């Protein structure tokens, strides 16, 4: 009795005027034994919405260029129907994932297909920001005022008074707020190119929806920007209605709450702004290719054997005194002289009005902990730092203090203390902010840990402003001279900590 199914279908006894879109698969694989099976309920709007999208893609010749992003919800299985490149994503995140896809494939058509729970509840942030960025994606938003797949819970678009399993006495705005009007909300944004709300309530409205879906995809093909079609859609099973009754409910109740309208249809004017320069990887990374070998620009010749074995320096002061910068200068200098270096800052917003400090390690060998508990040198740019960190300095260490003399009631540490009014010297030169470079000069002159020529070379590459560079040179020289003079006067403090 039963004939071979294939042969029956191969020779239809009727003339086919319309058939399944090429964009659909022949079979719904999840129920592969039944050729015409679908997982959507009788009267569900998804079937129609899918068909409108598929037919538009076919007619516009976009099948091979389209990537379809399916959501969580009843349409989670959209990829079983659409013969397209498919990406299935997390609940509510389709606009974000579609953003990643589109930016990777800018000349392709990217569709995000979402339900109301997905788009208007959990994914509210993602849809608003994708729309606001004017992402070049088409979003089809199927609004049936209910959570379908999870079994009928309240949606953000559930109507006032509409019952659901989580609003058993009907949606009460006093408790759950009002239905969310996503199209109107998105229409307040500058970037979207096209926003329309349509309904699958009857054939006339379905034809309107068909036109809107096509428009949204045509605009994608033209590269117009963000396009959004909200599709009011029946959900007979969860609404507990017959399909015809459900369609009527869309027409009478849903449209009354969510008026149909073209909220936006214009190509947005989006200023391009300043385009980043295009450079090679080598250029961007500061590497230059020279004769097949990569060298660093402005690289000083490394000394094979440095006289300095190991030195740890802690620099502390107020935020804004150039504490961190001084540390970076020292690290850069050490590196240029062929040493191993590390620079470890104190970091964070609370440091801005308080103390900032950093640790610099210079060594011939690989540096272990970049954190210094007993520095060889402390550069204290204010009294607070001196009092706080002086006790940590190694016994045979050295402290540079940014004042003419030590503060009163200061318990002298065992380390040698060198006082110099770096800020005053810098002020005298014309800019208090170069006090850190004055201290650098003093450090170099006193300890000879690194060469002052290296300091000048580093400053030349780091300081772009020629006036400031000149100030820095003067500051460096002033710091060195101060040490020279004081040394001549035998004025370096004694180990009892008092400076004369």
Partner 1 sequence: MRQLSKGNVAVIRGAILAGCQAYYGYPITPASEIAEAAALYLPQVGGTFLQAESEVAAINMVYGAASAGQRVMTASSGPGLSLMQEGISYLAGAELPCVIVDVVRGGPGLGNIAPEQSDYFAMVKGGGHGNYRNLVLAPASVQEMADFTVLAFELADRYRNPAVVLTDGFVGQMMEPLELELKTVEEPEKPWAVKGTPETRPNLVTSIFLEPDDLEAHQRKLEAKYKRAAQLEARYETYMAEDAEVLLVGYGIVSRVLRTAVEQARQQGLRVGLFRPITLWPFPSKALAEAGARCAALLDVELSNGQMLEDVRLAVNGKVPVEFYNRVGGNVPSAEEIHDELLSRLAALA
Q: Which of residues 55-114 bind partner 1 (CB under 8 A)?
A: 63-67, 69, 76, 79, 83-90, 93, 96-105, 107-110
**Tokens of residue 93, six digits:** 């995140």
CB of 107 or CB of 408, closer to partner 1 = 107
Rounded CA-CA distance 368/345 in Å is: 16
Q: Give the DSSP H/E element, type plus range, for residue 467.
A: helix 466-488
Taking the complex as a whole, how short is the minimal distance between the CB of residue 355 and partner 1, in angstroms? 15
CB of 262 or CB of 287, closer to partner 1 = 287
Residue 342 binds partner 1, judged by CB under 8 A: yes
SS3 6: helix
Taking the complex as a whole, how short is the minimal distance between the CB of residue 297 and partner 1, in angstroms? 9
Taking the complex as a whole, how short is the minimal distance between the CB of residue 414 and partner 1, in angstroms? 17
Contact 354, 368 (CB under 8 A): no
CB of 98 or CB of 213, closer to partner 1 = 98
Taking the complex as a whole, how short is the minimal distance between the CB of residue 356 and partner 1, in angstroms? 12
- Beta-strand relationship, 194-199 and 227-232: parallel
Cα 46–chain centre separation: 34
Rounded CA-CA distance 106/268 in Å is: 18
- In the numeric block, the tokens 């949204």 are attached to 216
Rounded CA-CA distance 479/500 in Å is: 17
Taking the complex as a whole, how short is the minimal distance between the CB of residue 444 and partner 1, in angstroms? 18
* Cα separations in angstroms, 466 against 51, 84, 480: 68, 60, 21
Q: For partner 1, which residue of 280, 467, 494, 495 counts as binding (CB under 8 A)?
A: 280
CB of 232 or CB of 333, closer to partner 1 = 333
- In the numeric block, the tokens 């240029």 are attached to 336
Taking the complex as a whole, how short is the minimal distance between the CB of residue 304 and partner 1, in angstroms? 14
Q: For partner 1, which residue of 131, 315, 326, 341 counts as binding (CB under 8 A)?
A: 341
Site string for partner 1, 301-340 (x = CB under 8 A): ---------------------------x--xx--x----x
Binders of partner 1 among residues 374 to 393 (CB under 8 A) are 374
CB of 66 or CB of 144, closer to partner 1 = 66
Helices (H) and strands (E) in the chain, counts: 18, 15
Rounded CA-CA distance 267/136 in Å is: 12
Residues that contact partner 1, how many (by CB under 8 A): 72
Binders of partner 1 among residues 182 to 211 (CB under 8 A) are none
Taking the complex as a whole, how short is the minimal distance between the CB of residue 339 and partner 1, in angstroms? 9
Residue 221 binds partner 1, judged by CB under 8 A: no
Cα 147–chain centre separation: 31
Binders of partner 1 among residues 27 to 56 (CB under 8 A) are 30
Binders of partner 1 among residues 284 to 303 (CB under 8 A) are 284-287, 289, 294-296, 299
Binders of partner 1 among residues 147 to 176 (CB under 8 A) are none
Taking the complex as a whole, how short is the minimal distance between the CB of residue 334 and partner 1, in angstroms? 9
Q: Which of 13-26 are b and which e, b meaning 16 or more Cβ less than 10 Å from the residue's Cβ?
A: eeeeeeeebebbee
Rounded CA-CA distance 360/341 in Å is: 7
Least Cα distance to 399 among 382, 376, 383 occurs for: 376
């Amino acid at each position: 009795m039963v004939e071979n199914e294939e042969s029956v279908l191969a020779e239809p006894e009727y003339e086919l005027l319309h058939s399944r879109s090429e964009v659909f698969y022949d079979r719904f694989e999840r129920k592969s034994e039944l050729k015409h099976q679908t997982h959507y309920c009788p009267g569900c709007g998804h079937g129609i919405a899918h068909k409108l999208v598929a037919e538009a893609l076919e007619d516009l010749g976009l099948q091979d260029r389209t990537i379809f992003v399916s959501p969580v919800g009843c349409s989670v299985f959209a990829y079983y129907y659409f013969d397209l490149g498919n990406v299935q994503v997390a609940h509510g995140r389709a606009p974000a994932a579609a953003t990643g896809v589109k930016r990777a494939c800018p000349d392709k058509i990217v569709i995000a297909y979402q339900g109301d729970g997905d788009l208007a509840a959990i994914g509210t942030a993602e849809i608003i920001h994708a729309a606001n960025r004017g992402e070049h994606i088409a979003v089809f938003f199927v609004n049936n005022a209910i959570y379908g797949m999870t079994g009928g819970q309240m949606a953000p678009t559930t109507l006032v008074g509409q019952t659901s399993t989580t609003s058993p006495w009907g949606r009460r705005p006093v408790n759950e707020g009002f239905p969310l009007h996503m199209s109107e909300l998105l229409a307040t944004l500058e970037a979207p190119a096209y926003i329309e709300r349509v309904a699958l309530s009857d054939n006339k409205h379905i034809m309107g929806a068909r036109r809107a879906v096509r428009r949204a995809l045509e605009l994608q093909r033209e590269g117009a920007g963000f396009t959004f079609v909200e599709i009011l859609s029946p959900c007979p099973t969860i609404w507990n209605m017959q399909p015809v009754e459900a369609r009527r409910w869309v027409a009478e109740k849903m449209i009354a709450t969510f008026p149909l309208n073209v909220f936006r249809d214009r190509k947005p004017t989006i200023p391009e702004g300043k385009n980043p320069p295009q450079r090679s990887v080598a250029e961007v990374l500061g590497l230059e290719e020279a004769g097949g070998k990569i060298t660093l620009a402005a690289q000083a010749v490394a000394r094979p054997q440095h006289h300095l074995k190991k030195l740890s320096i802690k620099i502390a002061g107020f935020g804004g005194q150039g504490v961190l910068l001084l540390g970076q200068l020292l690290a850069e200098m050490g590196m240029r002289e062929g040493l191993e270096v590390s620079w470890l800052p104190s970091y964070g917003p609370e440091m801005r009005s308080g103390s900032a400090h950093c640790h610099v390690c210079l060594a011939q060998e690989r540096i272990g902990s970049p954190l210094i508990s007993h520095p060889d040198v402390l550069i204290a740019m204010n009294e607070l730092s001196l009092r706080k960190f002086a006790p940590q300095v190694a016994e045979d260490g050295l402290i540079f203090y940014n004042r003419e003399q030590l503060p009163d009631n200061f318990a002298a540490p065992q380390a040698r203390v060198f006082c110099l009014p770096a800020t005053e010297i810098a002020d005298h030169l014309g800019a208090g902010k170069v006090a850190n470079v004055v201290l650098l000069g003093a450090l170099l002159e006193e300890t000879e840990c690194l060469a002052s020529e290296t300091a000048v070379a580093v400053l030349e590459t780091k300081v772009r402003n020629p006036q400031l560079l000149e100030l820095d040179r003067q500051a460096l020289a002033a710091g060195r001279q101060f040490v020279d003079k004081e040394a001549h006067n035998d004025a370096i403090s004694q180990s009892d900590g008092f400076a004369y």
